[in-house]
Amino acid sequence: MFHIRTRGLLLDPSPGGSFAEDEEHMRLINRLAASPLERDQVYIRSMYLCSSQVCETDWRRFSDRALEQIRDKVVGESVLAGHDKRSLPVARFFKARIVERPEVPDPETGAPTRWVRAWFYWLKETQGARDLALNMDGGIYREVSISWRYRGGRCSLCGRAPRSCAHVPGEVLDGARCFIWIDEVVDVLEGSLVYRGADRETGIAGERHHGVSESGVDLERLLLFEAPLLVGEEARP
Ligand SMILES: [Zn+2]
């Protein structure tokens, strides 16, 4: 079992929902809330958590099965701000679905990519709640990192276990890119909101191109925030 994470995921800023959708959301939220909440007590937003694309940071790719496991496991997990695991969660995921996004085609096949879209809520009456909403809707908080754990994995070129073959993830062999298929996600630990002063295009590209297209400032911030995360995770039993 390994601990790794991916990042560069785009917040969906559209807060609106139909009456029926609001009712469904409140039913799901109230499964998690200790005392019943009304619609006007909560902010609700959603994010595209991860996709069927190859992640160019670690050359891993979720299979359909893995995406479904993430969809199922993320509900009830925490949304953190700024990767700070020492602080309490700022929001909680309450619903997730697999959606196709034709506007983000697969670079190889041109087919729509598949994403886990996750909805989360937080309480309006809490300190900083409105700032969080303003920062999300205003495009300041655009992305998240997720922490997840998986088991196994297989080489995209030969199907063998990672590191048991001669193929190197990220390398191109006879026109085919080597990456690691992830079929079994055992845990989704949390999602963290990330400040990033990028435009929409960079935000979408983030998952596929981060590490290449990111500015030095982004990378520096990422490292700063992720160092304590690593320590925290590895201390887990
Ligand atoms: Zn191989």
Separation of 5 CA from ligand 1 center, angstroms? 22
Rounded mean pLDDT for each run of 10 residues along the chain, 237 residues in total = 49 67 94 94 88 83 94 92 74 94 85 90 91 82 77 94 92 93 87 52 27 30 28 31
Separation of 159 CA from ligand 1 center, angstroms? 6
Predicted local confidence at residue 37, as pLDDT: 96
Predicted local confidence at residue 105, as pLDDT: 87
Q: What is the pTM of this model?
A: 0.76
Give the environment of ion ligand 1: residues with CB less than 5 A.
155, 157-158, 165, 167
Predicted local confidence at residue 3, as pLDDT: 44
Amino acid residing at 147: S
Predicted local confidence at residue 230, as pLDDT: 27
Predicted local confidence at residue 223, as pLDDT: 28
Of 90, 96, 66, 67, give the one whose Cα is nearest residue 78: 90
Predicted local confidence at residue 12, as pLDDT: 62
Predicted local confidence at residue 33, as pLDDT: 93
Predicted local confidence at residue 40, as pLDDT: 93
Of 81, 122, 124, 117, give the one whose Cα is nearest residue 100: 117
The domain locations on the chain are: 2-53+65-153+187-234
**Is residue 92 a contact partner of residue 121, using CB atoms and an 8 Å limit?**
yes
Separation of 166 CA from ligand 1 center, angstroms? 6
